[in-house]
Amino acid sequence: MEISRRKILKFAGALSLSPVLTACREKQVPLLSGRTMGTRYSVQLQQIPKEISLSLLKKEIESVLENTESLMSLYRPDSEISLINGFGSGVWHVLSPSTLRVVKQGLKTMRLSGGAYNPASGPLVKYWGFGSQVKIAPPLERPVPPEIIHSVSSSAFDIDHGAIRKNHAESALDLNAIAKGDAVDQLAHVLERWEISNFLIEIGGEFYARGSGPSGDRWRIGIEHPDGGILTAVNIDRRAVATSGDYVHFALDHGRRISHLMNPKTGRPISDRLALVSVVADSAIDADAWSTALMVMGPDEGFRFAVQNDMKAVFLKREAGGYKMLRTPRFKSIETIT
């Protein structure tokens, strides 16, 4: 049975009922859910030990999510990231361990991707009208001011002994592409500390699955086609799935699509040749970051990079009259026919 979500991804089989073991607390699948990061989260559980309090577990889950928002939300003026972005250049700020972990992961992906992913892309996001304060985007033909390009260079920030400083007054961190993935990973750690072995976590279309679902098999995650329906699906255990696409958040300039995803090298929104990239990885933060980086690289360079680096990734490329799906060999090995 498949439950459809009209977003980027959907999970399949998550609510299919099956006989429950006597060790289970509930005959139905326990579901913990709520709002976070401008979207929703859900945690589906299997085979819950009787002594576990779901209310206490939900309280801890929401505490982790609130901590992530208080540190990394660009929509909160008092968040740690917002405060750092408001500092002038040359001012050192000691990072919290959680923010330091995410920033370091972002910088690592930037290095490995040759700058396709850049956690310092905040000025570009703001310039093209996708910042926390919505504005009308400039025409696509307008040159990006050199100072904005300079502010997102690889030297925009320094990190030393757990502290960070801006080297350019206009530089700004934007961790939106990986903060949700990190939050998913942190929730997985919470469930593992509670000795829960079979679960599916989702935050706004980012997934992490462990163990088995209601049917007793691995969790089955479906990747949704931009025009509706399932593009393809994968069976995963101890893996994450994340999708980046240009069809959910975008602006239009005289009928032309302006994607919310920026190419840090050119300072411009990515082209519309690539509709989506989905990545399966060991962690949700990796899947999140690499789906963004591969989108920025584009269908040709991105697909070559994914194959050369043994990634599990699927690309949906726009062509005249339709789409073309490209799947890496590693992706095919976990793909299940819908």
* pLDDT tens figures, 69-107: 999 999 999 999 999 999 999 999 999 999 999 999 999
How confident is the model at residue 198, as a pLDDT?
95
Query: Which pLDDT belongs to residue 190?
Result: 98
**Strand runs (DSSP E) across 249-338, as ranges?**
250-253, 256-259, 262-263, 268-269, 274-281, 312-319, 322-327, 335-336
Give the Cα separation of 334 and 7 in Å (integer).
Answer: 22
| CATH superfamily placement of domain 72-177 | ApbE-like superfamily (1.10.3980.10)
Write down the domain spans for the chain. Answer: 72-177
The pTM of the full predicted model, rounded to 2 decimals, is 0.87
Mean pLDDT in residue range 303-321: 96
Nearest to 225 by CA among 16, 58, 9: 9
Average pLDDT of the residues in 41-64 = 93
Look at residue 3 in the predicted model and tell me its pLDDT: 29
Q: Is the dihedral of CA 125, 107, 181, 52 positive or negative?
A: negative
Q: What backbone torsions phi and psi does residue 120 show, to the nearest 5 degrees?
A: -100, 25
